[in-house]
Amino acid sequence: MKTVIIYASVHHNNTKKIVDVIADEYGVDIIDAAKITEKDLSGYDLIGFASGIYFGKMHQAVINFAEVNLPEDMDVFLICTYGGKPVFDSIKGIIKEKQGRIVGEFSCKGYDTFGPFKLIGGISKGHPDKNDLDNAKAFFKGLCKNRNL
């Protein structure tokens, strides 16, 4: 199963830690949407989008990437790290427009020093931790299993 994860991880590399652990274990391709804006994804069987949550949305670079590059009728999974709560609405609309199917969602806390949180040393310090990374690997393994791969 040829898989790619398109990610943006700009605050503390929290999301990148999740993306890397999956990529290292399962050999999936990764694309940094903050650096690469166009790519032909038609050769992939499964596409993941991953980022932190910033002002209630996934990173704009990931949203833009999906808008421009997501082929129609694809299986898609979503990953986010968050300080408060996971929110995938921003990208779900685009996936729906392109007749995509969301086959899985994974989220976990990520160290957050934005705004006033900086004054108290940040929240969710140490996340993603080992348990979060293990859960992410199990999530991806489950995705593969559901697809009989």
Ligand X SMILES: Cc1cc2nc3c(=O)[nH]c(=O)nc-3n(C[C@H](O)[C@H](O)[C@H](O)COP(=O)(O)O)c2cc1C
Our CB check for ligand X shows the closer of 26 and 114 to be 114
Residue with the two structure tokens 């704009």: 60
Inter-residue contact 30 to 7 (CB < 8 Å): yes
Our CB check for ligand X shows the closer of 71 and 122 to be 122
Our CB check for ligand X shows the closer of 3 and 15 to be 15
Closest CA to 31 of 53, 62, 2, 54: 62
Please identify, among the stretches 47-55, 64-72, 91-99, 133-141, the one whose residues bind ligand X according to the rule CB under 6 A.
47-55
Our CB check for ligand X shows the closer of 31 and 74 to be 31
Q: Exactly one of 3, 9, 90, 107 binds ligand X (CB under 6 A); which one? A: 9
Cβ at position 72, least distance to ligand X in Å = 28
Residues 51-80 that bind ligand X (CB under 6 A): 52-56
Inter-residue contact 41 to 76 (CB < 8 Å): no
Buried b (16+ CB within 10 A) or exposed e, 32-70: bbbeeeeeebeebebbbbbbbbbeebbbebbbebbeebb
The DSSP output letter for 117 is G
List of residues 6+ apart from 101 with CB closer than 8 A? 74, 75, 76
Q: Is residue 13 involved in binding ligand X (CB under 6 A)?
A: yes
Q: Is residue 107 involved in binding ligand X (CB under 6 A)?
A: no
| Mask for 109-148, x = binds ligand X (CB under 6 A) | -xxx-x----------------------------------
Q: Is residue 48 involved in binding ligand X (CB under 6 A)?
A: no
